């Protein structure tokens, strides 16, 4: 039996991963306890369960377990042991803002629990591959020091800049403000790398920017495009936070990220780190996203501009990921969902 253990299996990335790996022939063990609803008061994963990834047919077992529960995690691993050939860790506390006011919980979920999963993997399933869903926040706000040019609808780099196509993995993580969320994810990120380099465990860190899709249980604190789609469609005020709404993000659909995980598992290697995103073609500013959803819905967005000039501390003014390293190692993979495809996908739910 070939088992893939997926943490956060009802979340945006976890559900897409479970569905995709099942299609590749894996038996799926899911771990999920809907902590998202506890963190944010809404946007719980149970409200978004739909489609094949939510159905019981793809799961060998599902466990309602908090990933901070070390003993329960060990029990799951000891039960299935060497039958587990892949661990995909997508469960997390995902919010920049929430982490600032809940630092200990954020640390325990993102950093300590990741260590426990690695420890259980090396003890009970040492031949398994371990994929960690990290974040571009590990780089901190150093990107804000780049020579960004103010354009009509976005901040952007000059076309001749070395990072115009996206930020590579060599970008420095030092002497910068990361946010507490960025720090907890960075600690886990480096620990995953260490298990790969020190023990030879097949580990891959995917440093993602904005991941999205219709399975996103979006709230204001997390889920930029999905939450904006909901606001424009339903006439709910959307608060534009900082940078006059001209901050830029690239977006990758969860299904494309899940396919990247599948490609890595076909040919795993230890201690790998990949920046992962939609690239320049899937980049969009807040203003541009508002305009896109207004056109697609025929609705005028209701914008709360009270925080227009007050960005989150440590937030990025601009971020586009370069996925060149991953595409060089795994040339069969590529983006299948354009920014227009993503927008229409989100509105098909919201």
Q: Does the pLDDT value for residue 52 go beyond 50?
A: no
pLDDT for the residue numbered 42: 56
pLDDT band at 39 (very low <50, low <70, confident <90, very high): confident
* Spatial separation of the C-alpha atoms in residues 229 and 234, rounded to whole Å: 9
- pLDDT 10s digits, 124-151: 999 999 999 999 999 999 999 999 999 9
| pLDDT surpassing 80 at residue 77 | yes
* Model pLDDT, residue 81: 98
pLDDT tens digit string along 310-333?
Answer: 888 888 999 999 999 999 999 999
**For the segment 221-270, what is each residue's pLDDT rounded down to a tens digit?**
778 899 999 999 999 999 999 999 999 999 999 999 999 999 999 999 99
Residue with tokens 């076309």: 159
Residue 219 has pLDDT above 90, yes or no: no
Q: Is the pLDDT of residue 181 over 90?
A: yes
Determine the pLDDT at residue 317.
96
- Classify the C-alpha dihedral 23-24-29-35 as positive or negative: negative
pLDDT at 41: 66
Token pair listed for 118: 């690695």
Among 89-103, 119-133, 327-341, which is the least confidently predicted range? 89-103
Q: What is the pLDDT of residue 124?
A: 98
168 φ/ψ angles, rounded to the nearest 5 degrees: -90, 175
pTM value is 0.94
Lowest mean pLDDT among 72-76, 207-211, 278-282, 306-310: 306-310
pLDDT at residue number 95: 87
Q: Of 130, 53, 30, give the one whose Cα is nearest residue 88.
A: 130
């Amino acid at each position: 039996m070939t088992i893939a253990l997926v943490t956060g299996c009802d979340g945006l990335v976890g559900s897409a991963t479970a569905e995709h790996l099942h299609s590749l022939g894996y038996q799926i063990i899911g771990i999920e306890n809907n902590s998202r609803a506890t963190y944010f008061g809404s946007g719980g994963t149970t409200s978004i369960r739909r489609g094949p990834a939510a159905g019981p047919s793809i799961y060998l077992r599902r466990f309602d377990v908090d990933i901070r529960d070390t003993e329960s995690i060990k029990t799951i691993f000891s039960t299935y042991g060497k039958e587990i050939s892949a661990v995909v860790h997508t469960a997390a506390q995902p919010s920049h803002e929430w982490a600032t006011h809940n630092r200990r919980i954020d640390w325990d979920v993102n950093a300590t629990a990741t260590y426990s999963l690695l420890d259980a993997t090396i003890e009970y399933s040492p031949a398994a591959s371990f994929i960690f869903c990290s974040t571009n926040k590990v780089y901190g706000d150093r990107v804000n020091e780049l020579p960004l040019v103010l354009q009509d609808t976005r901040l952007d780099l000059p076309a001749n800049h070395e990072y115009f196509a996206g930020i590579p993995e060599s970008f420095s993580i030092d002497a910068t403000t990361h946010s507490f969320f960025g720090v907890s994810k960075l600690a886990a990120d480096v620990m995953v790398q260490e298990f790969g380099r020190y023990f030879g465990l097949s580990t891959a860190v995917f440093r993602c920017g904005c991941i999205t899709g219709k399975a996103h249980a979006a709230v204001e604190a997390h889920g930029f495009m999905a939450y904006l789609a909901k606001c424009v469609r339903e006439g709910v005020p959307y608060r534009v936070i900082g940078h006059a709404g001209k901050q830029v993000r690239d977006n990758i659909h969860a299904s494309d990220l899940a396919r990247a995980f599948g490609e890595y598992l076909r040919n795993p290697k230890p201690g790998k780190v990949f920046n992962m995103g939609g690239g320049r073609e899937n980049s969009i500013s807040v203003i541009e996203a508002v305009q896109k959803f207004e056109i697609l819905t025929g609705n005028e967005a209701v914008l709360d501009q009270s925080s227009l000039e007050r960005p989150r501390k440590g937030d990025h003014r601009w971020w586009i990921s370069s996925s060149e390293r991953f595409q060089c190692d795994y040339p069969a993979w590529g983006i299948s969902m354009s920014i227009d495809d993503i927008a229409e996908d989100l509105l098909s739910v919201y």
